[in-house]
Amino acid sequence: MSESTGQDVNVRTTAAQRATGTNTDTLLQTDGLVKQFGGFTATDAVDFSVEAGEIRCLIGPNGAGKSTLMKLVTGQHAATAGSIYFNGFDVTDDAPNERIDRGLSMKFQVPSVFEDLTVRENLRLPNQRLADGDERRRRVDEALAAADLADVEDTRAGDLSHGRQQQLEIGMAASLDPDLLLLDEPVAGLSVDERAAIADRIRTLNEERDVAFVVIEHDTEFVAEIADRVTVLHQGDIFREGPIEEIEDDPEVQRIYLGTDGDAEGDAR
Ligand code: ADP
Ligand code: MG
């Protein structure tokens, strides 16, 4: 990288202004975001931005730093350096709960439904934050219907199929009325039909409730079905960004997935 030129400074200033100005479509902007675990840099000065109402997919080889980036955005991890702007605010030092109140919600890679509670009880939890009495009941009924879980509302969540657990988790996250919903591998291990149902749910939330998404997913067919744009993460930083057709055909992207990056035997240009 070159020294910080006038242009770099401009870009950086604009990033912060774009993310915090009044007439902006930028929903999320990270600025030079860094996360180190001991001496290891998992997130390496990432400038990542998401527009209001878009569906973005985040891909990249195992260990690229996808989950870490998401956890920095939600506040599960504290940033080592850099800033995070969300919905017009600098949320870098905000607690996870404060970020939720600003419109951020997430479904983690590891399922986190309350297995011993019923489906209805699980959905009641996020709705407790926002409503009570009849209004809460109405919201829970609506969430059950939207997640196609009304027929199993009294079932223990731990007894649901994996696919329906994922639907429940997305339903819980969506109950918080987020502007941005982060989903970490929501269709891993699911059947073709279950994947289609999740894709459908994502599109519906996007179209009807204007929820923007960042979805971590490897399967390019699924990505092509839902995403406007794709961001490729590699070794903790953004490697490529663009429409899935371009990304899929990019020989450099194929190379990092094959794990031959930096290999002297590699015959890439
Ligand atoms: P991805 O989700 O892209 O597979 P992760 O974000 O989970 O990758 O991990 C990125 C890198 O950071 C990996 O090398 C991983 O081992 C490391 N890492 C992630 N979380 C921790 C942690 N809590 N402590 C130490 N290293 C971690
Ligand atoms: Mg991960």
> If 0-12 CB within 10 Å is exposed, 13-18 middle and 19+ buried, where does residue 224 land?
middle
Q: Which atom of ligand 1 is nearest to the CA of 184?
A: 2
Structural domains counted in the chain: 1
What sign does the dihedral 241-242-244-249 (CA atoms) show? Answer: negative
Distance from C-alpha of 197 to C-alpha of 161, rounded to nearest angstrom = 14
CA-nearest residue for atom 27, ligand 1, is 37
Residue 268 forms part of a structural domain: no
Query: Is there an atom of ligand 1 within 6 Å of 60 CB?
Result: yes
- Domain span including residue 191: 6-113+160-257
Please list the rounded mean pLDDT of every run of 10 residues in the chain (269 residues): 43 57 81 97 98 96 96 96 96 94 84 91 91 94 96 97 94 94 93 94 96 93 93 97 93 84 39
Tokens for 255, please give them.
């190379």
Q: Is residue 125 part of a domain?
A: no
Residues 8-25: tens digit of each pLDDT: 444 445 566 666 665 568
The CATH number for 24's domain is 3.40.50.300
Query: Is 201 a domain residue?
Result: yes
- Is residue 121 situated within a structural domain? no
On whether the pTM is more than 0.95, the answer is no
Inter-residue contact 238 to 46 (CB < 8 Å)? yes
Q: Rounded to whole angstroms, how far apart are CA atoms 123 and 110?
A: 18
Q: pLDDT digits over 173-222, tens only? A: 999 999 999 999 999 999 999 999 999 999 999 999 999 999 999 888 89
